[in-house]
Amino acid sequence: MTRDEFREALLCAMESKTHWAWPLFTSGAVPKARLHIHLEQEYEVYVRDFPIFVARAYVQCPIAEVRRDLAENIYEEETGGLVAGKPHPELFLEYPRGMNMDLDRFRYVQLLPAAATYRAFLDEATQHRGWEVAAAVSTIFLEGTAHERGELDPNAPKRPAPPLEEHPLVVHYDLPLEALALTKAHRSVEGDHRQAAWRLMLSHVAEGSREPCVDAVREAANHWQRYRDDVAAACGLAKP
């Protein structure tokens, strides 16, 4: 697999990271009484432990340049010391807090079946398949979106970034703007994080490790689809 083939295969895999239920979540179709399910599952599956996933790539990687990029990502996610001012998992909890949800729910989350399977995959892939796969799953898939092509190609559509006043949680669920600290932080650092993620993939993953990375990202996308199906059903949504 050449470098260009590797890049295209990863981009195509990321373009599958869309789900039928997301427009329903962003249009207020989910009853507020069930919205906590979505937030709890996201928090338990990956938000709380995202710095750990990246750290697993860091400790396995022998390349100093790659470790430096990963270390910066870990530091910001774990401490907020570069931009956010607080750890990103803590800032995520400002969403449910701002909507007066019971935060005790987030201490002991019971994962939905597909969520538990997805989380098990994330743990296995980031611990047992080498630094390349750990980095691909954490920095490309988990941190990325279906708009990754726009991170590399100035002519491709970019990740949408509407005004904070138009954020779905503000418009449909009365979330105060000050509770969007994590959204603000992501917009400040994501450009650098995306460039770093793609740089380490395309410049440092050896040819023999490229196909396992693509396979892992595709596997992550498949698990994610089933996970999002479960969350949608638990929130009372039915596929059109």
- Domains along the chain with CATH numbers: 3-234 (1.20.910.10)
Burial class (CB in 10 A: 0-12, 13-18, 19+), 97: middle
In the prediction, which pLDDT does 190 show? 66
Which of 13, 223, 239, 2 lies closest to 115 in space, CA to CA?
223
Residue 194 confidence (pLDDT) above 80:
yes
Task: Give, for 38, the enclosing helix (H) or strand (E).
Answer: helix 32-42
For tokens 């001012």, what's the residue?
85
Round the average pLDDT of the chain to a whole number and report it: 94
Instruction: Look at residue 125 in the predicted model and tell me its pLDDT.
Output: 98
Ordered DSSP codes for 144-193: --TTTHHHH-TTSPPPP---GGG-HHHHHH---GGGGHHHHHHHHHHHHH
Structure tokens that stand for 48 in this block: 């709380």
Nearest to 89 by CA among 186, 221, 193: 186
Give per-residue pLDDT as tens, 45-74. 999 999 999 999 999 999 999 999 999 999
